[in-house]
């Protein structure tokens, strides 16, 4: 499957990652300072995830971007996510942690399938970024649940070092000539995936 203007999409990936970092850092700080019940934040995440389902179904049914096999696999995951989002399971911390872990597992599977070869369009890049953001929000809320009454600190600068280094690598890739980027697009995707992993570790740790 042909790549969709790889250089432009690569530049958009870098932009989205920077936006994600800013949004999620602010989310973590707001959660640390907000006096509302954690249940309110969980319900907000649930609503965000429910809102994303329609976009997922539309994108995953697009035969121009995905193979039939991948599309079917993704649709099954969306159905599983919708079922998981039917309600927030009470207030017990252990139940809530398990609920968030289940959501995270489904989102991780969706991201993995979207990272398959031949899938590198602007539409899918934007949707993948949105799914990563929601997964990291779930991780941050899991951390808050795990710590109980303890406050989560502001993000320590050292925890962001790996992410900054990965972003420098991605900017180098995105600046390459189209034909050079095209030859190494799979490696670029791997670097992008690692960047989101570093971001998650930086923001969902004590």
pLDDT: is 159 or 142 the higher one? 142
Segment (H or E) for 28:
helix 6-33
Residue 15: how many CA atoms within 13 Å on its side-chain side? 10
The 10s digit of each residue's pLDDT in 69-83 is: 889 999 999 999 999
Q: For residue 154, what pLDDT is reported?
A: 54
Burial (Cβ within 10 Å: 0-12, 13-18, ≥19) of residue 35: exposed
The whole-chain average pLDDT of the chain stands at 84
For residues 158, 159, 164, 166, the Cα torsion angle rounded to the nearest 10 degrees is 130
The CA distances from residue 170 to 14, 120, 130, 165, in Å, are: 7, 15, 19, 9
- On the question of pLDDT at 204 being above 90, the answer is no
**pLDDT class for 153, splitting at 50, 70, 90?**
low
List alpha helices for the chain, DSSP H.
6-33, 38-60, 68-84, 93-114, 122-147, 161-174, 178-183, 185-203
pTM: 0.86
- The rounded distance, in Å, linking the Cα atoms of 200 and 136 is 6
Q: What residue spans define the domains of the chain?
A: 6-203
CB 132 within 8 A of CB 111: yes
pLDDT higher than 60, residue 144 = yes
CA 100 distance to own-chain centroid: 14
Please answer whether residues 52 and 74 qualify as being in contact, where contact means their C-beta atoms are separated by less than 8 angstroms. no
Burial class (CB in 10 A: 0-12, 13-18, 19+), 34: exposed
When pLDDT is averaged across residues 92-96 and rounded to a whole number, the result is: 90
Q: Please say if the pLDDT value at position 1 is more than 50.
A: no
**Closest Cα partner for 197 from 123, 108, 105, 124?**
108
- What is the token pair recorded at 69? 């096999």
How far from 21 is each of 49, 58, 156, 158, CA to CA, in Å? 19, 26, 14, 15
More confident residue, 55 or 188: 55
């Amino acid at each position: 499957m042909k790549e969709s203007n790889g250089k432009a999409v690569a530049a958009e990936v870098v932009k989205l990652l920077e936006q994600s970092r800013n949004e999620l850092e602010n989310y973590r700080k707001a959660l640390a300072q907000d006096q509302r019940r954690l249940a309110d934040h969980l319900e907000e995440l649930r609503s965000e995830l429910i809102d994303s389902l329609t976009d997922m179904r539309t994108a995953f049914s697009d035969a121009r971007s995905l193979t039939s096999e991948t599309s079917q696999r993704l649709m099954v995951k969306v159905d599983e996510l919708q079922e998981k989002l039917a309600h927030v399971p009470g207030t017990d911390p252990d139940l809530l942690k398990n609920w968030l872990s289940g959501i995270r597992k489904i989102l991780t599977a969706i991201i993995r399938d979207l990272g398959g070869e031949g899938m590198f369009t602007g539409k899918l890049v934007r949707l993948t970024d949105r799914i990563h953001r929601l997964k990291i929000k779930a991780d941050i809320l899991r951390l808050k649940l795990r710590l109980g009454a303890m406050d989560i600190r502001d993000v320590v600068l050292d925890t962001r070092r790996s992410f900054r280094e990965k972003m420098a690598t991605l900017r180098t890739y995105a600046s390459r000539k189209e034909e050079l980027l095209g030859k190494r697009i799979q490696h670029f995707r791997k670097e992008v995936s690692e960047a989101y992993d570093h971001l998650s570790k930086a923001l969902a740790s004590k």
